[in-house]
A and B are shown apart, each in its own frame.
Chain A
């Protein structure tokens, strides 16, 4: 019994170390709810101890003894004062926690005061698209924000490969920045996030969205203001167009700048790589203009490196479960090893 207690205590004490923990806030929109729930947990713990204590006391104190004379206890039918007491007291406690709860519902959902950054979020099966309207840049799965700046997410969901308006419900959740908010097709929902430290934070789609729900992760990165501006500048520049070597072959295969092979097997049929000409407009798959600047790909589940990329191009649905037959996710393009070599070289050149 003691061993179990020590084990339980140890587990609880080490509890706050997990990288996607809601108990370890790193921004005001996560901190405020955390500060609100702590006294509620304390009250709950008090009630827990009270009720279980009464229960255990009753079990020990009023158990039938071996020397019992067989008589029955006094038949007590109730006590109106006690009934009123345990109706009114819990009601008062709940009223006490209701007031700050309602206040905070409004304060966390309202538009942030002062200047804030807007990021448009689109949930796809099964990856995230982020668009920064102030800077006209797109990224996928990784959302980069400046530290100590409120960010308001304007979110919706689509599956453009199937129908421009049709998608399924997802939920945006980076626990250390804020609680989750569902992303609903045909509607716009809003979520405020803010980071109080620089760093990379883990997130995850939190509303079941089908086959690869678990593979729909999010990376949040918060940068100092200057670093953020440098990042924006890089993302705004057009993709580097290689002129010779393997990478150039890859670019041609991709169909990025050359009007060749824009068919089923062309990457450009689904993915955009912006070369500085015309408007940036995303395809049905992630924008790959600065692909190599992202640390992870395919729903932020694989580290961006040559080996993973090569395996991915050999057979995407084998690496991440998808339903290309239902126009959800990337199909197997049956690329040759030579084609894969060229494409990998090109992709990794897209800093």
Chain B
């Protein structure tokens, strides 16, 4: 679709970008698939940085009384490790999946607000760069990722970068959440009712509602922290009547839903993969969907279980003990449903399937140690020890990351048209499983034996057993590093020379496999009409009354309108735009200005953002194409825009 500005007879300061390949096509893209790919590769970079920080932690704690790094460096390393893995790896990796898959799975051509989608990506990238620039500008934050006040309002903790940086990332996620919610609610293909949506779409919807309600809470808390650290407000300073516990309530009222923000997308991914490779539908679709929604609701009612040793009283402790136990019920429902999806199937142990089974297995361990936290009198022994470190890594690494990696292997052929190497994939899985358990399994024990978290040295007086467990954990990380390198190698080799996959390599069930691999710019030649849950599978097979599958005669699917003709040439897609990037760049002077505060930088930033904002507004979403009879017939142009 070549594009000429002359047909519209108008040139602005920035002529509309038109490139479809090359560097400029990426920085101006509004295509949800390209943005998803950009999220993915950016995540890889931050995952590497977060991994380096974990290396610092595990090297230092490999032996007792070591001093490989100073406590200053160590405290920055574990703080940035937490921030990176939560805000710069797991959340945006989920966003990569949301971006790539939501329109494809619901049968849409793009997300509801394509330029806002680009804006979300740039805010994420710049927020990450801003946070990491702190290493070069006087030291990274060292007040831990939970940023407990009043330590975090003390200038020595460098938390001004945290207060502003997380805010930028929050803007990114909030914009994305609105975008995805609107997309899912409004842009589903005809016939795709809620109970016909793929499970990944269900979990995405719940996750994005969680983001929508949880992020404003952390935004408020971060503004208060920002005002305390930079402008001398006293929200959290007890010396002048502030309340340090207020921070904890606000942080965890965001922070606990955040756990489900990180795990629910992985649950959705696994709910897609297990049925495909078991060759059965998801067991108890409605139960899995509603359990996910229930987790979303209850997730807002358990925040104080992070504060059982704080100054909350026995009544609050009891109430939150009960809610914490209660949330284990929907989680358990999901686990049994996944197991019974496999029950009676014909299991194919591809790499995505292995990672999905690993997810169910490892997440079960994390869930069970989660229940033990609700035993409040004993929680006082577990809290802030390595037992907790073990628990949340089993949920977020054994859970969320295993699920997300399963998704990478599963959808790689959709994105690239090639398969990842199964041999390397299996090597990756087994080393990943071994390394993960070796790293985090022993932490259950070292925590119960009295090793506290966030300590820059492993005190020798904790005893030889604790030292041995720590050595095992550090060796486990080495296995994980080897495993990650196998994955990276697999990724590079498979992108270049993987086996061609065809559009449907897995005999899959959901709509994204209906389009070509990789999908065309406009996803579908014709928006499909949906008449079943697992629509794509039902175009290939029918079921008789006993549930026995019967192949649908070849050619039948053509009737549903996925045939390949030249109709795509007339599909009108949103055009690329500079404005999201231009507007986001203005956040750099604003953010650095806020650290100071440096008022000229703040003013430059605000003015820049406002100019970017107006540039964005006056630029139409899409302009006419060569073959679009826009000049001759203004009505056709209008209808083209309205479609988006």
Which residues of the partner chain A approach B339 to less than 8 Å between Cβ atoms? Answer: 51, 54-55, 58
B463–A17 contact, CB under 8 A? yes
B315 to chain A, nearest CB (A): 9
A105–B448 contact, CB under 8 A? no
How many residues on chain A are close to B (CB under 8 Å)? 96
User: Knowing A78-B286, A180-B381, A326-B155 touch, does A64 contact B348 (C-beta < 8 A)?
Assistant: yes
> A75, A164, A186: which contacts B549 (Cβ < 8 A)?
A75
A292 on interface, CB distance cutoff 8 Å: no
B244 on interface, CB distance cutoff 8 Å: yes
In the docked arrangement, what's the CA distance between A44 and B379, Å? 15
Which residues of the partner chain A approach B454 to less than 8 Å between Cβ atoms? Answer: 208, 213
B498 on interface, CB distance cutoff 8 Å: no
B244–A105 contact, CB under 8 A? no
Which residues of the partner chain A approach B643 to less than 8 Å between Cβ atoms? Answer: none
Which residues of the partner chain B approach A36 to less than 8 Å between Cβ atoms? Answer: 375, 377-378
B494 on interface, CB distance cutoff 8 Å: no
Which one of B6-14, B197-205, B277-285, B567-575 is at the A interface?
B277-285
Which residues of the partner chain A approach B151 to less than 8 Å between Cβ atoms? Answer: 168-169, 208-210
In the docked arrangement, what's the CA distance between A208 and B144, Å? 8
A97–B325 contact, CB under 8 A? yes
The chain A residue sitting closest to B548, CB to CB, is A74
B444 to chain A, nearest CB (A): 10
In the docked arrangement, what's the CA distance between A82 and B379, Å? 32
Chain B residues 324 to 340 lying within 8 A of chain A, measured CB to CB, are 325-326, 328-329, 332-333, 335-337, 339-340
In the docked arrangement, what's the CA distance between A82 and B339, Å? 12
Which residues of the partner chain B approach A108 to less than 8 Å between Cβ atoms? Answer: 377
**Interface secondary structure of A, over-half rule:** mixed
A55–B239 contact, CB under 8 A? no
A186–B380 contact, CB under 8 A? no
A331 to chain B, nearest CB (A): 15
B372–A83 contact, CB under 8 A? no
Which residues of the partner chain B approach A184 to less than 8 Å between Cβ atoms? Answer: 238, 244-245, 310-311
Which residues of the partner chain A approach B311 to less than 8 Å between Cβ atoms? Answer: 182, 184, 187, 189
A207 to chain B, nearest CB (A): 6
Which residues of the partner chain A approach B336 to less than 8 Å between Cβ atoms? Answer: 51, 82, 86
B360–A91 contact, CB under 8 A? no
A78–B278 contact, CB under 8 A? no
Chain A residues 21 to 68 lying within 8 A of chain B, measured CB to CB, are 21-23, 30, 32-34, 36-37, 40-41, 44, 47-48, 51-52, 54-55, 58-59, 62-64, 68
Which residues of the partner chain A approach B375 to less than 8 Å between Cβ atoms? Answer: 33, 36-37, 40, 97, 101
A169–B244 contact, CB under 8 A? yes
A217 on interface, CB distance cutoff 8 Å: yes
> A21, A33, A212: which contacts B377 (Cβ < 8 A)?
A33
B391 to chain A, nearest CB (A): 12
In the docked arrangement, what's the CA distance between A178 and B450, Å? 12
B452 on interface, CB distance cutoff 8 Å: yes
> B280, B321, B378, B468: which contacts A11 (Cβ < 8 A)?
B468
A226 on interface, CB distance cutoff 8 Å: no
B333–A102 contact, CB under 8 A? no
A316 on interface, CB distance cutoff 8 Å: no
Which residues of the partner chain B approach A3 to less than 8 Å between Cβ atoms? Answer: none
B344–A206 contact, CB under 8 A? no
> Which of B242, B245, B368 gathers the greatest number of chain A CB atoms within 10 Å?
B368
Chain B residues 446 to 498 lying within 8 A of chain A, measured CB to CB, are 448-457, 459, 461-463, 465-466, 468-469
User: Knowing A36-B378, A72-B549, A76-B547 touch, does A164 contact B239 (C-beta < 8 A)?
Assistant: yes
B310 to chain A, nearest CB (A): 5
Which one of B43-51, B68-76, B586-594, B599-607 is at the A interface?
B68-76
Q: How large is the interface on B (under 10, 10 to 19, 20 to 34, 35 or more residues)?
A: 35 or more
A133 on interface, CB distance cutoff 8 Å: no
A6 on interface, CB distance cutoff 8 Å: no
The chain B residue sitting closest to A39, CB to CB, is B375
A199 on interface, CB distance cutoff 8 Å: no
B626 on interface, CB distance cutoff 8 Å: no
A257 on interface, CB distance cutoff 8 Å: no
Chain B residues 369 to 415 lying within 8 A of chain A, measured CB to CB, are 369, 371-372, 374-385
A15–B449 contact, CB under 8 A? yes
A166–B237 contact, CB under 8 A? yes
B182 on interface, CB distance cutoff 8 Å: no
> A30, A163, A165, A206: which contacts B383 (Cβ < 8 A)?
A206
A171–B309 contact, CB under 8 A? yes
In the docked arrangement, what's the CA distance between A51 and B357, Å? 12
B372–A44 contact, CB under 8 A? yes
A114 on interface, CB distance cutoff 8 Å: no
Which residues of the partner chain B approach A213 to less than 8 Å between Cβ atoms? Answer: 454-456
Which residues of the partner chain B approach A212 to less than 8 Å between Cβ atoms? Answer: 71
Which residues of the partner chain B approach A58 to less than 8 Å between Cβ atoms? Answer: 339, 342-343, 345, 347
B462–A19 contact, CB under 8 A? yes
A169 to chain B, nearest CB (A): 6
A178–B347 contact, CB under 8 A? no
In the docked arrangement, what's the CA distance between A101 and B72, Å? 39
B416 on interface, CB distance cutoff 8 Å: no
B493 to chain A, nearest CB (A): 27
> A76, A106, A175, A202: which contacts B461 (Cβ < 8 A)?
A202
A181–B321 contact, CB under 8 A? no
In the docked arrangement, what's the CA distance between A12 and B58, Å? 22
A220 on interface, CB distance cutoff 8 Å: no
User: Knowing A11-B468, A209-B151 touch, does A94 contact B459 (C-beta < 8 A)?
Assistant: no
The chain A residue sitting closest to B155, CB to CB, is A326
In the docked arrangement, what's the CA distance between A68 and B309, Å? 56
> B150, B322, B383, B548: which contacts A167 (Cβ < 8 A)?
B150
A17–B326 contact, CB under 8 A? no
User: Knowing A41-B372, A59-B347, A105-B321 touch, does A20 contact B449 (C-beta < 8 A)?
Assistant: yes
B453–A208 contact, CB under 8 A? yes
Chain B residues 108 to 156 lying within 8 A of chain A, measured CB to CB, are 142-144, 148, 150-151, 154-156
B378–A179 contact, CB under 8 A? yes
A76-119 vs B, Cβ < 8 Å mask (1 yes, 0 no): 11110011001100110011011001101110111000000000
Which residues of the partner chain B approach A180 to less than 8 Å between Cβ atoms? Answer: 309, 380-381, 383-384
A37–B343 contact, CB under 8 A? no
B100 to chain A, nearest CB (A): 28
In the docked arrangement, what's the CA distance between A21 and B382, Å? 11
Which residues of the partner chain A approach B361 to less than 8 Å between Cβ atoms? Answer: 51-52, 55
User: Knowing A44-B371, A58-B347, A187-B238 touch, does A77 contact B360 (C-beta < 8 A)?
Assistant: no
B318 on interface, CB distance cutoff 8 Å: yes
B344–A74 contact, CB under 8 A? yes
In the docked arrangement, what's the CA distance between A91 and B333, Å? 11
B246 to chain A, nearest CB (A): 11
A236 on interface, CB distance cutoff 8 Å: no
Which residues of the partner chain B approach A214 to less than 8 Å between Cβ atoms? Answer: 71, 452, 455-457, 459
A101–B321 contact, CB under 8 A? yes
**Cβ contacts A to B, 14 pairs, < 8 Å:** A15-B465, A18-B449, A18-B466, A33-B375, A33-B378, A40-B378, A44-B369, A55-B339, A55-B360, A76-B343, A168-B154, A182-B309, A184-B310, A326-B156
Given contacts A22-B448, A78-B285, 17 further A-B contacts (CB under 8 A): A15-B465, A51-B335, A62-B278, A75-B549, A76-B280, A76-B281, A76-B283, A86-B332, A87-B332, A90-B328, A106-B318, A166-B239, A167-B150, A169-B151, A207-B148, A214-B452, A321-B456
Please list the residues of chain B having a beta carbon within 8 angstroms of any beta carbon in chain A.
70-72, 75, 142-144, 148, 150-151, 154-157, 237-239, 242-245, 278-281, 283-287, 309-311, 313-314, 317-318, 321-322, 325-326, 328-329, 332-333, 335-337, 339-340, 342-349, 357, 360-361, 364-365, 368-369, 371-372, 374-385, 442, 445, 448-457, 459, 461-463, 465-466, 468-469, 541, 543, 546-549
The 5 closest A-B pairs by CB, nearest first: A179-B380, A186-B238, A20-B450, A214-B455, A33-B377
